[in-house]
Structure 1
Amino acid sequence: MTAGNDSVPELLPMVFAAPNEALARARALLDSDPPPSHASVAHQVIGIWQRDWGDLRLALEHLRRARDLAARAESPEREADVLATLGVALVHAGRTRQGLAAFEQGVRRGSGHTRARVLYRRAYVWWVLGHHREALEDVRRAIPVLRQTGDVIWTARALTLRATVHLALGAVERAEADFTAAEALWDTTGQEHDKADAVESRGLAAFRAGDIPAALRLLDEAQERYAKLGTPTFMLTIRRCEVLMAAGLAPEALAEADAAIAVLDGIGGQSTRKAELLLVAARAARLAGDPGTAIARAAVAVRLFSGQRRGWWEAHARLVLIEARFASGRGYGRLVADAARVAERLESSGAPAAPEAWLLAGRIALHLDWTADAERYLRVAARSRRSGPPLARITGWAAQALRARAAGSGRGVLEACRCGLAVLDDHRMTLGASELRARATAQGAELAALAQAVSLAGGGPRRLLEWSERWRATVLTAPPTRPPADPVLQSGLTAFREIAARAEEARRDGRPVPALEREQRRLEREVRSRTLHMRGDAPGGGYRFDVAGLLERLGDGRLVALAVLDGRVQVLLCGGGRVRRFAGGQVERAEREAEHVQATLRRLAHPRAEGRLPLVEAMGRRLEEVLLGPAARHLGSGPVVVVPPARLHSVPWALLPSLRERVVSVSPSASSWLRARETEPPAGGRHVLVRGPGLATGGAEVPEVADRYGRATVLEDADARVPRVLEELDGAALAHIAAHGDFRADSPLFSSLRMVDGPLIVHDFERLARSPYRIILSSCDTARLASVGADELLGLVTALLPLGTAGVVASSAPVNDEAVVPLMLALHKGLGDGLSLAEALRDARAALPSDATHQATGWAFTAFGAA
């Protein structure tokens, strides 16, 4: 490949339009023994490519060669241009003083248009260093000259940079105006890399404005554009990780940041980017509950930023380091002063993170009972509660709540918590994906806990019930946004199902599956990504809990709501016209007992485990002691609804002695139980029975159940395909699905029921206009759920309840297929006699043989909801 003299000026614009082609042409040009000015351009192009996407050491070698060749060519303008490129590379290499000196020389050597380009690149470096006012000054000087000379590309770059600086200072509206103007200019050019950068920048703007779905969508689009150009995307990774953390996906952000650091180290890339990635990784580790990793990453980031003379960034890294040390219980006294100094530095530079730092300083001071210092710091932090993006306002309301608590004002705490959670309500409902809605609730966990603590101390059981309901199972308060008619999402779901079915068949045949599993994971990421892009369409501030209405609807029944405060279970017993509180045991003990019970139930699902039956019964007695305490003696004689916290969702409640012979149902919240009670069955009363493949009994109960209902729709063999099953389930009065269940703890919305053509997953159920009024899942693990956010659950059962299902029967453990058959037949007999799901399940358990396998099978199934 050769490059003629007339094409040399095109090489520099080409490096951001078609980077790899520009690199190849520059190398070909050097092979043709060009004159010094042309060789200078070629070395500069190679240097830019290596600087941004390769080895920084090689970049500096080529750029110094380009500078020397420009001097030999006696071209001050060429020399100034190369000095600016070299200055950027030196700063990215951590040689800040040398880089700024190169810019000073470049500004002196250049004039007019060239000097404007040098100023733009120095403005970029000021932004990298965190000197935002200097960056705005240089770009202010550059833009008029670039516009006057008709330089569309560099004008668009300068506008994009100015917008990015505005975002760093929290000026979102100014940033959006500049991004809009830049994008209009990019549409007139062929600069594909710069166009991708513009999309990425719009994603950053959407994030700063609080629109997480739009941010994820735009960043994914930018990633696709960069992939076509074959260029690495470290800055995009940093921004995507920030959005993931705000969306409650900190473990994913940590994994992505660490992977990018490994790649960057492998190619000898920019040390500035490495420092930024380490900062992101440290924040992600802290949010993921791993303070040790956070301290390690943040400490290295602090050293790098300090050596690079990047004080603004260093302050952010120190903030994370202090947060992580506080979380790990280290050096509280010194940390107060450290946090206050960091807050002052962030405040003076206009950083949006300043309120977070003031809140941290106040929080540590409160921990030490330094009330005067705490009040001073929290007062400053609380100023952010009135304006700005949602998460910043929530930080302000948290500070206000802590101020009120320190002042002994319970009313003030509750008012601040109420306002902060209202902000989070509105923010949560902008999210369309149920996963993001669930994870977003973690932002309100502290506010909810503060309100509950105040209610426990002096508000009475009713108020404690109201506040425990306020932030419990909020994802179920409104139907999820229905996935749009997105052909990409639809084809992704179909392809995922086909690959998953092929992988399952290969496993059964003993054939290798690594390639199929890789493709399955890729398709899962694609489906999940499209789902996370959905924007919410439901208004915030929806359903409000009414204690009086609950007590009226309970009749002679009881509702047992369990709240966890300071590690202890608080039992709120509702019924008989009042709410009473009883003290339970330590929640950690209850979790351990529940895990042991689940393990034992798994063993009882197999024959020859008879000797373990007394053991599991003893576990049930211990669980009751911890979970219900003295409340067990006050349950009355009517039905019982249990409302456990998310962390206790795996308890088999029918195993508890006081509940074993009762009508018992479980609900994620009292509010969702009330809504289930008010749900009307659909007209027509259609019954749908589904038999999936591979069951040991072949779903033997289905034909007999079909005979019982007469005109039931039976889907089996070739008819038991996901599209047909979904079509029949939509709006049915009763559905019974006999199919293998697979719970995915790593990705709960991919938990599935196996159909003939592959898995029927939670994402499929969310496409229903109305899920069946009653649904029975007669297979393993269908009631297993993942606890996320503040007190949320993700899985098959919780996907159905907001979509119109009033009641579900499902199992929380592996079950014996043969023992399931008589349980299901007895259950349907009860339903045919007019019983509710909970009543029919109680009678069905009582009708089972008394051996260990059948008893364990009965305990494994739970009735959810109120149908």
Structure 2
Amino acid sequence: MRDSGRAGTLREQAERLHRLSVEATDNGRPALAARRLRQALTLLGWTTPAGGTPGDDGLLARLLTSLAHAEAEQGRSELGMELLDEAQRRAPAGELAIVHAQRGLMHLRMGSSTQALRELDIAAPMLQLDGDRVELARVLLNRSVIHIATGRIRQARDDARRSAQLAHAHDHPVLAAKALHNDGYCDLLLGDVPAALSVFARVERLYQDVNPGFLPVLALDRARALLAVGLTDEAGHTLDQAIDGFRRQRLMQDYAEAELARAQCALDAGRHAEARDWARRAETHFRRRGSAAWARRAELMRLRSDLARGAAPRSVARRAWDLAARFAELDMPDDGEMARLVSVRALIAAGHLTAAASTATAPPPTPPPPDPAPHAPAPPPDAPPGEPPPHTPASASRAPSGGPPLDGPPPDGPPPDGILAAGAGQGPAPLSRTGGRPRGEPLDVRLMRRLAEAELAGAQGRRGQALRKVREGLALIDSHRGRLGSLDMLTGVAALGADLAAHGLRAALAGGSPRQVFAWSERCRAQAFRFRPTRAPEDERTAEALAELRQLAQQMHADEAAGHRRPALRRRCLELEQVIRERGWQLPGVGERLAPAPVAAVQEALADDGFAMVSLLNVGGGLLALVLVDGRCHLHRLSAYEPVAEAARRLAGDLNAQAGRNLRPALRAVIEASVERQLGVLAAALGAPLRQALSGARGIVLIPTMGLSAVPWGLLPGLRGRPLAVAPSALVWLAARRAAEPFVRDGSSSVLVAGPDLEHAEREIQRLGAVHPKARTLRGEQATVSATLSALDGASFAHFAAHGHHERENVLFSRLDLADGPLMAHDLQRLDRTPGHVVLSACDVGQAVVRAGDELLGFTAALLYLGTSTVISSLTRVPDAVAERVMTAYHRGVALGASPADALAAAGEGEPACTFVCFGAG
């Protein structure tokens, strides 16, 4: 009896350790789980797979199954498989389903999707008969991962939702959270990034309550979603958090997948050497773990980085073609197609056009017939055999572009590129060129194909075909952009088509037609302005974050005035800004868009106004100018871009310094000399196109590029006193001009706002009140954010005399200081109708962050996006006295009937420190 009692006690202790190991696994702590499982096995007398052991074979099999998973998650996949084989030999017939499921999960984590699905399909019917509904929920969840990995999104969603139903019915919140995670990943793969991020936000709250160990996995998938809309910096920050979590948890598969996604970030941002380093590290970790498929993906990313930096294209072509064949063996068609396209582009770069054409049209490598072996792993739960094995939380899917969570360790991750599948909502998914089954092909593959085809056609002298392929690629980007509602994403997504846009411009330049170059420049720049942003939500969480942010901003402002700094307040403000920003990412697009502006329509409008247009471009590091004047289009090749951009940067710094108070005369003279020097560099670089434009027109519409968006053009010697309007593109200028309404001279629908702590603000508003006697005036305690927004909604005209702040790190929180806190660019999205004409008599708020494709973000840009036709704002600090004089003269001119551009030109002509610019219609 004593022996029997001791055996019972040992079994109870082993079962308790098993339950604790399951908790550790569910929290993403495989090392802790493995320690507990080995303690349990020691209690049962088990030492090695070869040795015998007394005790219950069913419990032993469950322990071995769980230990197999824990070891594999730490990178010891071969040992994990040995343990699983031993578990299968010992498992009772009723518990074999769990062993099959676990083997499938392990194969999936190593990239063997076909085997994983077969194994899972063995487990599912066995569990259906057995009646273990929780275990069936796990299997369905993991099978959804397989379907995602193979592009079968409908089946994936069906399995995930069935899993969720079972989990809810049997009170298993961890499984339910994982199933929801996978459902959201289906949205991502279908191209609906806002919907995916909305689901991920819900999943995050669930994981915080029931499964905090899987938060790094969720962060990895959120980063993949951000990569899919070109937000590389944001994705990089998110990945850094995930990598830190995976390192602490020793989740080596996920750690390596995050490294691979980090390589994608660097590649998309143009940091090719950094991308190669990240890919090489990921490849090393995948190989150590035995994840052959993932190692191939990392190798492909390394080759893409080599191609982008121009390294040994012949070698890249050969290695990429070899990789395509290996992907075929692994039944990974999207990765194989990407490898083939890399090979084509490398051959073009090497000058081997015949080989490139042959590779582009060769039939894809054919995968071998499926292995008839009975054990093909499927992505089942990561649980011990026997009882429903608890699993680590599901990680967002890792399909060819990232993937759904499985029960057990997260499934195989995204393809070498973290870009989601596209094409949702556009009818049936296209047939993949790499296989016969219908499936949505990832957007990055489709874009790479258009780029490779365009490059090949261009190299063969078929320029028209090259431009057609670029148009097709940019249309894919447009379709993707139409699903996005936030300005952040609308502007970020241009980065996905940067290579295509550059190729299109180069091809147009090769054709020699200035009109065609102009048309292509308009197709490639500031495309976010063609789409209407979605109105910001009024949800409770966002409202609370905004209220707290405004309160903290007031405290920080008071601290600064008193000479104190509290870094904790700034950190909290950044946290709140991120909460608000992420909520904005979840806004769906409305789909409305403006058609591109025809050259003829632009020229007709210019002629009506007596204006010429000068459009600047940076193509391959060279600065070009297109001049539309007198019904003709002219192309000027100017100089290298960078020296001119450097002069613009120095000019901005000098002007800010010049606006400082109490400058010593000697220092002021040095700054003034530097200002003249930088203006001279700019004038010399742009002299020819500006002279040509002004020879046939009284004023100019100027379309800047990249760093030249920060130039106060009215200070250039040839432009002083001339009417000048600055716009992000010809389309923006044309649309703003059409939307502009006649100024109401008595100011009956105008708003004048004076902010706090600005010496001249009250006096300025009082003077303007005499010019606009019927304008509504907000000053002192009346000038609150809510009162100002209410007055702005639908106003024809608004003037702000307030402190302004441009936030480079979080542009949508650039702001104007009001009585109860900041009015932020983000707040403007709450207006039903923005004012038609806005004057910002504040420093810096004319600045913008310029993203790929000359996409702009900033306070002034936000007004233009939302429909304001004209904005007057400053690009640098302006001395108070200068601002007051210029603004008073400006308003008098407008009240007498002058256009904004004419009124500003006249008001600023004699002011050498006037950096106000007329943006929009002019």
TM-score (norm 1): 0.91
| 396-405 or 814-823, larger mean C-alpha shift | 396-405
Which of the numbers 493, 496, 500 marks the counterpart of 1:447?
Answer: 500
**What SS does the corresponding residue of 2:830 show, helix, strand or coil?**
coil
1:358 aligns with 2:332: no
Paired position in structure 2 for 1:11: none
**What is the CA deviation profile of residues 663-685 of structure 1, one whole-angstrom value per residue up to 9, with x for unaligned ones?**
11101110111111111428975
Alpha carbons 1:53, 1:231 under 8 Å: kept: yes
**What SS does the corresponding residue of 1:649 show, helix, strand or coil?**
helix
**What is the CA deviation profile of residues 771-804 of structure 1, one whole-angstrom value per residue up to 9, with x for unaligned ones?**
1111000011011000113220011111111322
CA apart distance, 1:614: 4.2
* Distance 1:733-1:452 versus aligned 2 partners, 3 A rule: same
1:651 aligns with 2:711: yes
1:375 aligns with 2:381: no
Alpha carbons 2:624, 2:638 under 8 Å: kept: yes
Q: In 2, Cα distance between the equivalents of 1:418 and 1:387? A: 20
Which of the numbers 527, 531, 554 marks the counterpart of 1:474?
Answer: 527
Alpha carbons 1:690, 1:720 under 8 Å: kept: yes
Please list, as runs of the form range in 1=range in 2, the aligned pairs for 1:195-206 lying within 5 A after superposition: 195-206=176-187
Which of the numbers 531, 541, 544 marks the counterpart of 2:596?
Answer: 544
1:641 aligns with 2:622: no
Alpha carbons 2:152, 2:439 under 8 Å: kept: no
CA apart distance, 1:815: 1.5
**What is the CA deviation profile of residues 550-593 of structure 1, one whole-angstrom value per residue up to 9, with x for unaligned ones?**
11111132011112222112211112111111221111111111
The one-letter amino acid of 1:655's match is L
1:404 aligns with 2:378: no
The one-letter amino acid of 2:570's match is E
* Distance 1:73-1:500 versus aligned 2 partners, 3 A rule: farther
Paired position in structure 2 for 1:3: none
CA apart distance, 1:662: 0.9
| 709-718 or 336-345, larger mean C-alpha shift | 336-345
**What SS does the corresponding residue of 1:760 show, helix, strand or coil?**
strand
Alpha carbons 2:259, 2:278 under 8 Å: kept: yes
The one-letter amino acid of 1:757's match is D
More helix by share: 1
The one-letter amino acid of 2:804's match is G
Which of the numbers 774, 778, 792 marks the counterpart of 1:729?
Answer: 792
Alpha carbons 1:216, 1:240 under 8 Å: kept: yes
Paired position in structure 1 for 2:33: 59
The one-letter amino acid of 2:101's match is Y
1:521 aligns with 2:580: no
Aligned-residue CA RMSD in angstroms? Answer: 2.3
Alpha carbons 2:534, 2:587 under 8 Å: kept: yes
Q: In 1, Cα distance between the equivalents of 2:623 and 2:785? A: 42
Q: In 1, Cα distance between the equivalents of 2:675 and 2:571? A: 40
The one-letter amino acid of 2:884's match is V
**What SS does the corresponding residue of 2:213 show, helix, strand or coil?**
coil
More relative contact order, 1 or 2 (CA 8 Å, 6+ apart): 2
**What is the CA deviation profile of residues 814-851 of structure 1, one whole-angstrom value per residue up to 9, with x for unaligned ones?**
121222111110111111111111111111012x4xxx
Q: In 2, Cα distance between the equivalents of 1:445 and 1:699? A: 47
Q: In 2, Cα distance between the equivalents of 1:442 and 1:377? A: 27
Please list, as runs of the form range in 1=range in 2, the aligned pairs for 1:591-670 lying within 5 A after superposition: 591-606=645-660, 607=663, 608=665, 609-635=668-694, 636-670=696-730
Alpha carbons 2:174, 2:211 under 8 Å: kept: no
Paired position in structure 1 for 2:920: 865
Q: In 1, Cα distance between the equivalents of 2:24 and 2:167? A: 24
Paired position in structure 2 for 1:562: 616
Which of the numbers 872, 876, 885 marks the counterpart of 1:813?
Answer: 876
Q: In 2, Cα distance between the equivalents of 1:387 and 1:91? A: 31
CA apart distance, 1:123: 1.0
The one-letter amino acid of 1:476's match is F
Alpha carbons 2:806, 2:847 under 8 Å: kept: yes
* Distance 1:429-1:630 versus aligned 2 partners, 3 A rule: closer
1:423 aligns with 2:476: yes
Alpha carbons 1:123, 1:134 under 8 Å: kept: yes
Q: In 2, Cα distance between the equivalents of 1:286 and 1:566? A: 18
CA apart distance, 1:722: 0.8
1:572 aligns with 2:554: no
* Distance 1:172-1:350 versus aligned 2 partners, 3 A rule: farther
The one-letter amino acid of 1:626's match is A
Alpha carbons 1:481, 1:538 under 8 Å: kept: no
Gaps of 5+ in 2: 1-5, 47-52, 365-431
Paired position in structure 1 for 2:732: 672
CA apart distance, 1:414: 1.2
The one-letter amino acid of 1:187's match is H
**What is the CA deviation profile of residues 715-765 of structure 1, one whole-angstrom value per residue up to 9, with x for unaligned ones?**
111111111101101111110011111111111111111111111111101
Alpha carbons 2:901, 2:918 under 8 Å: kept: yes
CA apart distance, 1:387: 5.5
* Distance 1:362-1:491 versus aligned 2 partners, 3 A rule: same
* Distance 1:610-1:695 versus aligned 2 partners, 3 A rule: farther
**What is the CA deviation profile of residues 57-99 of structure 1, one whole-angstrom value per residue up to 9, with x for unaligned ones?**
4432221222344566622221111111111111112111111
Paired position in structure 2 for 1:222: 203
Please list, as runs of the form range in 1=range in 2, the aligned pairs for 1:270-349 lying within 5 A after superposition: 270-349=251-330
**What SS does the corresponding residue of 1:855 show, helix, strand or coil?**
coil
**What SS does the corresponding residue of 2:552 show, helix, strand or coil?**
helix
Paired position in structure 1 for 2:424: none
Q: In 2, Cα distance between the equivalents of 1:507 and 1:630? A: 46
Paired position in structure 1 for 2:20: 46
Paired position in structure 1 for 2:820: 757
| 290-299 or 49-58, larger mean C-alpha shift | 49-58
**What SS does the corresponding residue of 1:776 show, helix, strand or coil?**
strand
Please list, as runs of the form range in 1=range in 2, the aligned pairs for 1:496-535 lying within 5 A after superposition: 496-535=549-588
**What is the CA deviation profile of residues 153-209 of structure 1, one whole-angstrom value per residue up to 9, with x for unaligned ones?**
111111111111111122222212212222222221322222221121112211111
Q: In 1, Cα distance between the equivalents of 2:756 and 2:313? A: 59
Q: In 1, Cα distance between the equivalents of 2:308 and 2:494? A: 20
Which of the numbers 835, 855, 858 marks the counterpart of 2:912?
Answer: 855
Alpha carbons 1:84, 1:106 under 8 Å: kept: yes
**What SS does the corresponding residue of 2:203 show, helix, strand or coil?**
helix
CA apart distance, 1:277: 2.1
Alpha carbons 1:36, 1:73 under 8 Å: kept: no
Alpha carbons 1:387, 1:393 under 8 Å: kept: no
CA apart distance, 1:124: 0.9
CA apart distance, 1:316: 0.9
Paired position in structure 2 for 1:264: 246
Aligned length: 826
| 557-566 or 523-532, larger mean C-alpha shift | 557-566
Paired position in structure 1 for 2:855: 792
Q: In 2, Cα distance between the equivalents of 1:577 and 1:630? A: 15
CA apart distance, 1:312: 0.6
Paired position in structure 1 for 2:515: 462
1:255 aligns with 2:307: no
Paired position in structure 1 for 2:65: 84
Which of the numbers 624, 632, 635 marks the counterpart of 1:581?
Answer: 635
Alpha carbons 1:766, 1:803 under 8 Å: kept: yes
* Distance 1:301-1:732 versus aligned 2 partners, 3 A rule: same
How much identity, in percent, do the aligned residues show? 30
**What SS does the corresponding residue of 1:523 show, helix, strand or coil?**
helix
**What SS does the corresponding residue of 1:864 show, helix, strand or coil?**
strand
Alpha carbons 1:379, 1:399 under 8 Å: kept: no
CA apart distance, 1:292: 3.3
1:783 aligns with 2:846: yes
Alpha carbons 2:151, 2:439 under 8 Å: kept: no
| 666-675 or 150-159, larger mean C-alpha shift | 150-159
